[in-house]
Amino acid sequence: MPLRFQAVALIITLLSVPAFGGTLTGTASVIDGDTIEIHGTRIRLSAMDAIESRQRCTLPDGSQWNCGKDAAFALADKIGRAPVSCDVSGTDRYGRAIATCYLRGEDIGGWMVEHGWAVAYRRYGTQYVPAENRARVEGRGIWASQFVMPSEWRRGKR
């Protein structure tokens, strides 16, 4: 690809992601348990880490379940077709916007952690640690099973 076309592609990509501190609102499509898309912009939910879509968890009886797919389905069911508003704080190394997103005023990332479909991603923030602790104590979602932390699973510790 000629350099001129690469430059144009980069400019288009940068213009499609709101600048630091911007807001993006619209109907969201769920990509996985911690990533949505609004108007063609991929958004990584801030400070939380959902179980990966291909990840499985082990229940106390030894059976496995598709907890990663269930996490994505839980987010999709929560959002439905309602408008989502995201406060963008930056971009990640993959070019996704990083944002805290809200559905009818409720923090979606917090909801995912509170219901046991994601963990607090302490590397990027601690605001969801209390919600994670409640989900763990009450055995909600993934906390009703054994699982590998999503960040470890991505590194191949499966």
Distance in angstroms (rounded) separating the CA atoms of residues 120 and 82: 25
Q: Is the pLDDT of residue 130 over 80?
A: yes
Judged against a pLDDT cut of 50, whether residue 10 lies above it is answered with no
Q: Is position 127 within any domain?
A: yes
| pLDDT, mean over the chain | 90
In terms of Cα–Cα distance, which of 39, 69, 65, 61 is closest to 147? 65
Q: Is residue 47 part of a domain?
A: yes
Q: Which of 7-16, 95-104, 137-146 has the lowest mean pLDDT?
A: 7-16
Specify which residues 101 forms β-bridges with: 86
Could you tell me if residue 9 is inside a domain? Answer: no
Residue 136: is its pLDDT beyond 70?
A: yes
**What pLDDT score does 12 carry?**
42
- Is the Cβ–Cβ distance between 80 and 67 less than 8 Å? no
Residue 158 lies in a domain: no
Residue 67, pLDDT score? 97
* 6 in any annotated domain: no
Q: Is residue 111 part of a domain?
A: yes
Q: Record the pTM.
A: 0.85
Name the CA dihedral angle for 122, 51, 112, 109, rounded to a multiple of 10 degrees: 50
Residue 150 belongs to some domain of the structure: no
**Mode of pairing for the β-strands spanning 48-50 and 118-120:** antiparallel
pLDDT reported for residue 21: 63
| CA–CA dist 55, 34 (Å, integer) | 14
- The pLDDT, as a whole number, for residue 88 is 97
Identify whether 152 is part of a domain. no
Q: Determine the pLDDT at residue 20.
A: 53
**Residue 79: both structure tokens together:** 């959002």
Q: What is the pLDDT of residues 66-78, one digit of tens each?
A: 999 999 999 999 9
- Provide the domain count of the chain: 1
- Domain range for residue 49? 15-145
Length of the chain: 158
Nearest CA to 86 among 107, 75, 100, 97? 100
Q: Is the distance from CB of 86 to CB of 158 less than 8 angstroms?
A: no
pLDDT(15) > 70: no
Residue 2 pLDDT greater than 60, yes or no:
no
pLDDT given at position 102 = 98
pLDDT band at 36 (very low <50, low <70, confident <90, very high): very high
The dihedral sign for the CA sequence 134, 138, 139, 140: negative
What CATH number is associated with residue 45? 2.40.50.90
